[in-house]
Structure 1
């Protein structure tokens, strides 16, 4: 699950393109299949989104929730690719992007009526 926060006036016009960039990075680095896009956009009024003074109104927060298992190298590669592609394709400078990867053990995930550690039919690898 990925949650993206930003100011409504800036985030809404780029939602689809940003979604595509993020999912493309997830596919490239983590091997996520095309049909595993789980994203939520939280578009806030400017008065409801406080951010550091040295950032612009394009400031965007990306929270990536994943099961534990990816290596440090893999997670760093994902973060770097996100910075690169978001800047290239959306003209948002890395200073205006904040990325947090939140990991939880597989037993803390629930989907399709089971916990993540019970799912043995995933179409992607967690240990990458």
Structure 2
């Protein structure tokens, strides 16, 4: 699951494009299928979103929640690909993007009535 935070006036117009970019990156770097898209947008009023000096109103925070198992190389490639694709397709500079990957053990995930470590039918690999 991905949670994306940004200033409402900046984030709302690009939600679909940003979702497409993120899913493209997850697919190309980790093999996550398109039908596993789980993106949550949190558009905030400007006075509810504080960000570091030197950033613009385009500042966007992307939190990627996933089961642990991906290699450092895979996670770094994903982060770099996201920076690159957002700048290329949306014109948002990397200085205005913050990406955090949050990993949890598979037994801490619950979906379809089971925990992640019980799922035997995933259409993608976690250990990549």
TM-score by length of 1: 1.00
1:40-79 aligned within 5 A: 40-79=40-79
Q: 1:34 deviation in Å? A: 1.0
1:8-62, CA deviations, whole angstroms, 9 ceiling, x for partnerless residues? 0000000000000000000000101110000000000000000011100000000
TM-score by length of 2: 1.00
- Mark the runs of 5 or more structure 2 residues left unpaired by the alignment: none
- Mark the runs of 5 or more structure 1 residues left unpaired by the alignment: none
1:87-115, CA deviations, whole angstroms, 9 ceiling, x for partnerless residues? 00000000000000000000000000000
* Aligned counterparts of 1:39 and 1:83: Cα–Cα separation in 2: 17
* Aligned counterparts of 1:120 and 1:68: Cα–Cα separation in 2: 16
CA RMSD of aligned residues (A): 0.3
Structure-1 residue corresponding to 2:4: 4
